[in-house]
A and B are shown apart, each in its own frame.
Chain A
Amino acid sequence: MSKTATANPPAKSAAPRNIFARSTNLYIFFVLIALIAFFSLISPNHAFFDRGNFVNIAWDTAEILLLAIGETFVIITAGIDLSVGTVLMLSGVVASWVIAQMGGPPALVASGHFPNAGTAIPLGIAVAIVIGGIAGLINGTLVTRLRMPAFIVTLGVFSIANGLGDLVSSSGAAGQSAIPPVPESFANTLGNGNLVFGLPTLVVIAAFIALVTHVVLTRTLFGRRTFAVGSNPEGSRLAGVPVTSHLIWVYTFAGFMAGLAGILDLARFHATDIQGHSLDNLDAIAAVVIGGTSLFGGTGSILGTVIGAFIPTVLRYGFTIQGISSFWQDVVVGAIIIVAVLFDQIRRRRVT
């Protein structure tokens, strides 16, 4: 897990924090296992304990997990990114617009035929990821170079991305569809396809990225610097860490992940929903916080975020299978967030 602190000279009292970080991960992991066991036992005919059900849970978690992985890096640096959900939406909307424009003659595209799909789809994917990256670059630049609070900057970008997405999606002439659904080939491979072991492509991509970012965060200079900047920016600067450029990279990475999630969401649902993503940012932050990453910066892990992203989905499935009102799930997730932050507070009090 977090080997980070050992190679982290500017951090204060690294060793105990490391142990506690590990224990929070364990706590939350047991909560997840307990929830799965509980729902498996009580569900009618043990419907919860089923390979198909677990695949579905992973599928529904994957998108938020991608956002949450980017958010984990940002929060470890003691920052925040509120813009990820609407950047996801903007990336998806622009990508589908690009695919429709480049896909072929408008009349054919409107009827679901994309003769130029071979070039339009890669272009759409690239555009989505670039837009995400640019949004992140703007966030990072404003936060560092202009020394503005991340909360405000990313709230501004949240709103800008929301508005731009609306503008693009409503740009069609009267009675004409600006953005028809994406090509079948795109939806069936990236959105609804199975890559390996019968697992959905989205799940495989999310798992791969979680693995890579876990390694980056725990085994590389980039990861060590992320922790260092978060726990002591001045010390890091004195120790020769390029704090400004590092932070810009971290925010750009979070935006990049939002762009990637945007294109995968588009493939999965065949169109990007304008209204459905306004709370994704809070879902992503909730996953990070439940996973034991501290909003004060300096501690956190991808593994914790993975577990933190799974808990709300497990509750949602468990409650739906039991026929319990979906509103209770919001209540329980909220309580878990508060308890997770309480643990973080207790831990910090002991360390300092």
Chain B
Amino acid sequence: MFKRLFGVTTFAALAGICALSVPGAMPRANAAAPYKIVLIAGIASDAFYITMNHGAQAEAQKDGATVQYSGSSAAFSPSTQLPFLNAAIAQKPDFILIAPTDKVALQAPIAQAVAAKIPVILVDTTLNDPSIAVTTISSDNVAGGAKVADALADAIGKTGKVAVVSVSPGVSTTDERVEGFNKQLATYPSVKSLGVTFTGDNPTRANTVLKGLVAANRDLAGVFATNTQTGTGVTAASRELGLSGKLKLVEFDTEPVQVEGLKAGTITALVAQDPYNIGELGVRYAVQYLKGKRDFDKHYGTGEAIITKENVDSPDTKKYLYAQ
């Protein structure tokens, strides 16, 4: 009798422990407990994602959620991002926001999260088949690239040679920026593009490349740098060549060092995305989903802005400048 009672209690206790340790498997008992959201960045140390995190944290405070920010600090690559995704799945959070570092390689791992009953929203970058996610939120990089083409063509008086300095082929965001740029640039018949040079995420190499391009093309009129790293390199090169303001630079992103270059006149214009808004929307939609909403659009776009010396200090522009 005693033995049997012991057995039953043990069983009950075990069942209780199981129930406790797998909260995701049970319906949420206490609605007041904050939703736990994990935000996995492309590169956690990058100002773009840090700004996105700031937006996510601010929204989480309003919505009664907590956001855990994670991701590799070293590289933008699937192999460095996967451990963070796997760790997140193991934690069984209520929701995952992720910026996939590769549209193919991350497809199956993210599907695993969905299979484990953790809903996902894709932020900034996307997947080949984004339908497994609740929705996708990003800036329109193609439109941003087109805006660069217009700004650069205007700056050089719609005639002359321009070059593109980009990171590496296969990165969806920078590839789309170049795509939009090339398409729009084709509408300016007197502007000749020297094509794209890839320098990796390495300012020193971007610096070298721009100096080489100028040595080979003394009449180079304008340059499009597709992100912060390439931008930092070409800005330094332009300064060092004594071409500040003469060689027109238009760059993506708005890190402090780029804003400084803009104010100093070395950079003609910056195209800003709105990572803060991406973070805010990601958390807002995640919480809405967890509260039962299901009718989301396939994609939500956040705006991008052209920032010049004239509007850089205006209050409307402020939110587009990345924190670091």
Rounded to whole angstroms, the CA-CA distance of A47 and B201 in the bound complex is 27
Rounded to whole angstroms, the CA-CA distance of A278 and B76 in the bound complex is 12
Rounded to whole angstroms, the CA-CA distance of A53 and B215 in the bound complex is 7
Does B10 belong to the interface (CB within 8 Å)?
Answer: no
B204 with A63: CB separation less than 8 A: yes
A326 with B240: CB separation less than 8 A: no
Does B192 belong to the interface (CB within 8 Å)?
Answer: no
**Which chain B residues numbered 173 to 217 have a C-beta less than 8 Å away from chain A?**
194-195, 197-199, 201-205, 207-209, 211-213, 215-216
With A181-B260, A326-B209 in contact, do A274 and B215 touch (Cβ < 8 Å)? no
Does A224 belong to the interface (CB within 8 Å)?
Answer: no
Rounded to whole angstroms, the CA-CA distance of A273 and B212 in the bound complex is 22
Q: A180 contacts which chain B residues (CB < 8 A)? A: 256, 260
Q: A270 contacts which chain B residues (CB < 8 A)? A: 232, 236, 257, 260-261
Rounded to whole angstroms, the CA-CA distance of A175 and B229 in the bound complex is 21
- Pick from B57, B75, B213, B229: contact of A320, CB below 8 A: B213
With A276-B201, A317-B208 in contact, do A172 and B324 touch (Cβ < 8 Å)? yes
Which of B42-50, B105-113, B153-161, B288-296 forms contacts with chain A? B42-50
Does A151 belong to the interface (CB within 8 Å)?
Answer: no
**CB-defined interface of B209-239 with A at 8 Å, one 1/0 digit per residue?**
1011101101000000000110011001001
Rounded to whole angstroms, the CA-CA distance of A44 and B219 in the bound complex is 13
User: What is the size category of the interface that chain A forms with chain B?
Assistant: 35 or more
- Pick from B46, B215, B257: contact of A275, CB below 8 A: B46
Does B323 belong to the interface (CB within 8 Å)?
Answer: yes
Does B255 belong to the interface (CB within 8 Å)?
Answer: yes
A326 with B324: CB separation less than 8 A: no
Does B79 belong to the interface (CB within 8 Å)?
Answer: no
Rounded to whole angstroms, the CA-CA distance of A50 and B216 in the bound complex is 11
Does A240 belong to the interface (CB within 8 Å)?
Answer: no
B256 with A321: CB separation less than 8 A: no
B216 with A323: CB separation less than 8 A: yes
Secondary structure at chain B's binding surface: helix, strand, loop or mixed? helix
Rounded to whole angstroms, the CA-CA distance of A48 and B202 in the bound complex is 23
A316 with B208: CB separation less than 8 A: yes
Q: B239 contacts which chain A residues (CB < 8 A)? A: 192
B324 with A112: CB separation less than 8 A: no
Rounded to whole angstroms, the CA-CA distance of A316 and B216 in the bound complex is 13
Q: A148 contacts which chain B residues (CB < 8 A)? A: none
Does A23 belong to the interface (CB within 8 Å)?
Answer: no
B324 with A52: CB separation less than 8 A: no
On B, residues with C-beta under 8 Å from A are: 43-46, 50, 54, 57-58, 73-76, 194-195, 197-199, 201-205, 207-209, 211-213, 215-216, 218, 228-229, 232-233, 236, 239-241, 255-257, 260-261, 263-264, 276, 323-324
On A, residues with C-beta under 8 Å from B are: 43-44, 47-48, 50, 52-53, 56, 59-60, 63, 112, 162-163, 166, 169-170, 172, 174-181, 184, 191-192, 200, 268-271, 273-276, 278-279, 313, 316-317, 319-323, 325-327
A-B contact pairs, 27 of them (CB 8 A): A48-B215, A60-B208, A162-B73, A166-B44, A172-B324, A174-B57, A177-B323, A177-B324, A178-B324, A179-B324, A192-B239, A270-B232, A270-B236, A275-B45, A275-B46, A275-B75, A275-B201, A275-B229, A276-B201, A276-B229, A276-B232, A278-B74, A313-B208, A317-B215, A320-B208, A320-B209, A327-B198
What 20 additional pairs, Cβ within 8 angstroms, besides A274-B73, A275-B43? A43-B216, A47-B218, A60-B204, A112-B260, A166-B73, A170-B50, A174-B58, A268-B236, A269-B203, A270-B232, A270-B236, A270-B257, A273-B229, A274-B46, A275-B45, A275-B74, A321-B215, A322-B216, A323-B195, A323-B216
